[in-house]
Chain A
Amino acid sequence: MTAPGATRAPALGRAASRLLDSRWAGLAGLVLALLAPFVIATPYALSVMTSAAIFVMLASGLNMVVGFCGLLDLGYVAFFAVGAYTSGVLSTRLGLPLLATVPVVIVVTVIAGVVIGAPTLRLRSDYLAIVTLGFGEIIRITANNLDVTGGPSGIYGIPSLATSPVVFYYLTVVIVSVAVIGASRLGRSRLGRAWRFVREDEDAAEAMGVHTYKIKLAAYIAGAVWGGLAGVLFAGQLSAISPGSFTFLQSALVLMAVVLGGMGSTPGVVVGAIVISLLPEVLRDFAGYRFFAFGVLLIIVMLVRPQGLWPHRSREASS
């Protein structure tokens, strides 16, 4: 038996320091991202950094589904594709600026989330994984075969959000930061707690009045919106999209970022996403062995730190 209240005092100090930790870590990450173009600003480096930021947004979106709610989604790239194609089609066909497509993208991704989620979320774990994988492929193959999406060659001439790559990079960093903070805030709210209750024990969650089906659907829709908005950024960055950008490999890499960083941990998935997107670039010296080295490094990390690089801690600060 522990003595009453004995654990409270040290917990207080530890918790306070952790709060600062995570606040400062987030701010430090943002400052780092904002200063990076002053260190290296070649077009190539800017494009890599912008891609990494977009990848962070994808990972933070998938983290709500997989990390918070415990739903294994192997077809997350479907929402990325839906967002990118919606804004791409609207901006090229109707001549809308990219920003104006955002409300439509949100509506379409919510619908996509419901359409994909409603029939699949009655399934548990591995079955859900298989079906989401299937949906991811369906979206890609549909885009490959429709005329409106430009078929295999995709859509060209999508207007960018900004004139110069540097401005676009800064815009991306700001949007992604807001998205990451938003995902983290949702995760700590009543809704986010309900996601975790579902992940931990669906029956107990139901017994406490959590409508597990609706809550899972909410996680799925939130993930879809985050993925779709990341798709808008992606379309704006490349100005051209094609089905080749939305393969299963992409879904697997986002999931890898979430697992590598630490499922359910906001700083974790940010770090995980940056590692996954930058590591292949850092490994360019290995030439032909680049992806071999990438794979080996990932395996080593998972063996040494199975809980992730920056795992979620359940211990909470006392208020």
Chain B
Amino acid sequence: MSLLSVEDLRLSFGGLLAIDGLSFTVGEAEIVSVIGPNGAGKTSAFNCVTGFYRPTAGRILLSGREITGMRPSGIAGLGVSRTFQNLRLFGEMSVLDNVRAGAHLWLRQNFVDALLHTPRYRRTERECTEQAHHWLDFVGLRGDRFGEARALPYGEQRRVEIARALARRPALLLLDEPAAGLNHGEKAEMLALIRRIRELGIATVLIEHDMGLVMEVSERVVVLNFGREIADGRPEDVRRDPAVIEAYLGRDDEDDEDDTDDTDDTDDTDDTDGKGGADGKGGADDGDGGGDGDA
């Protein structure tokens, strides 16, 4: 049985179809990438799996158990962790506190412990801090971990977000564009980090525009276009798939104008949805992604 299986997922926003019959599975400790042009429905699919959006139709199963329509915190409780496309750190809290958020689900401590500072309180707090340090070491954070998270440089904040997701001790980790906005060296480190995460036995689903990284790290690639799955297979097969090439480069001749119109529509949908894919970085990266796919 696969760890995550998405069956015929559909999501529409007032008549606009963001996801149109998406099915894919993720096995234990597998790295699966979800790729596709901007507005293809990748982040929307993530939001359905993690409970932030309620799908219009279809089922999502985690280890055979249906999680469709559950609350995000409930899904997190079953062992799913995620990062966000636009960083969502607790900016005014310390870096350590950010990672301690990952401990929320497994830290056994009640308010009586907190009020009386019982031995259990001291033990759990110590354990929580040790774990936070451990995961910050694991992601290779170099910056100041006692200060506010927002004071860290962008690339370091990405690491903190991943450390926070890992501290939850998930079975399934969803990374939404972990390499967006990172420079060349940082991307290489991110690649190494994703491999180290796999060695922990954690299954990873990756949304990424950097084709180099995707082809390098993924065991399987799912390609979306206009909310539909157009390919699912090993990276080397997917990159030769005519449908994928067409999605990234467009068709040669007919229907050119129609196609551009459609693309615009879908893009708009995703933007209004508040995930704010409209920032400059995302756009630039998309361009990169297309270029790499071409090569």
Q: Which residues of A contact B (CB under 8 A)?
A: 1-4, 7-8, 11, 15, 182, 185-186, 188-194, 196-197, 200-201, 203-212, 314-319
> Counting chain A CB atoms within 10 Å of each CB, which of B94, B101, B142 scores highest?
B101
Quick one: which of A11, A190, A196, A200 contacts B109, CB cutoff 8 A? A190
The 3 closest A-B pairs by CB, nearest first: A189-B114, A209-B76, A200-B90
Inter-chain contacts of B105 with A (CB < 8 A): 208-209
Inter-chain contacts of A2 with B (CB < 8 A): 142-144
Give Cα A200–Cα B50 distance, bound, in whole angstroms: 20
> Could you say which of B77-85, B223-231, B249-257 contacts chain A?
B77-85
Decide yes or no whether B97 CB sits under 8 A from chain A: yes
Contact A7-B168, Cβ < 8 Å, known A193-B100, A203-B88, A316-B97: no
Quick one: which of A11, A182, A192, A206 contacts B144, CB cutoff 8 A? A11
Contact A190 B90 (CB under 8 A): no
Q: Which residues of B contact A (CB under 8 A)?
A: 50-52, 71-74, 76-77, 81-82, 84, 88-94, 96-97, 100-105, 107, 109, 111, 113-115, 117, 121, 124-126, 128-129, 142-144, 146-148, 153, 164-165, 168
Tell me, rounded to whole Å, the shortest Cβ–Cβ distance linking A113 to chain B. Answer: 14
Inter-chain contacts of B109 with A (CB < 8 A): 189-190
Quick one: which of A189, A207, A212 contacts B111, CB cutoff 8 A? A189
Contact A186 B115 (CB under 8 A): yes
Tell me, rounded to whole Å, the shortest Cβ–Cβ distance linking A73 to chain B. Answer: 20
Inter-chain contacts of A200 with B (CB < 8 A): 90-93
Contact B71 A4 (CB under 8 A): no
Inter-chain contacts of A188 with B (CB < 8 A): 114
Given contacts A207-B52, A315-B147, 20 further A-B pairs with CB under 8 A are A1-B142, A2-B142, A11-B144, A197-B90, A203-B84, A205-B90, A206-B51, A206-B52, A207-B73, A207-B84, A208-B101, A208-B164, A209-B77, A209-B104, A211-B73, A314-B92, A314-B97, A315-B148, A316-B96, A319-B126
Give Cα A82–Cα B17 distance, bound, in whole angstroms: 51
Give Cα A184–Cα B287 distance, bound, in whole angstroms: 50
Tell me, rounded to whole Å, the shortest Cβ–Cβ distance linking B46 to chain A. Answer: 10
Tell me, rounded to whole Å, the shortest Cβ–Cβ distance linking B274 to chain A. Answer: 10
Give Cα A186–Cα B91 distance, bound, in whole angstroms: 21
Contact B104 A314 (CB under 8 A): no
Tell me, rounded to whole Å, the shortest Cβ–Cβ distance linking B173 to chain A. Answer: 12
Give Cα A299–Cα B274 distance, bound, in whole angstroms: 37
Quick one: which of B111, B117, B142, B146 contacts A315, CB cutoff 8 A? B146
Inter-chain contacts of B88 with A (CB < 8 A): 201, 203-204, 207
Quick one: which of B100, B101, B107, B114 contacts A205, CB cutoff 8 A? B101
Contact A204 B89 (CB under 8 A): yes
Tell me, rounded to whole Å, the shortest Cβ–Cβ distance linking A239 to chain B. Answer: 30
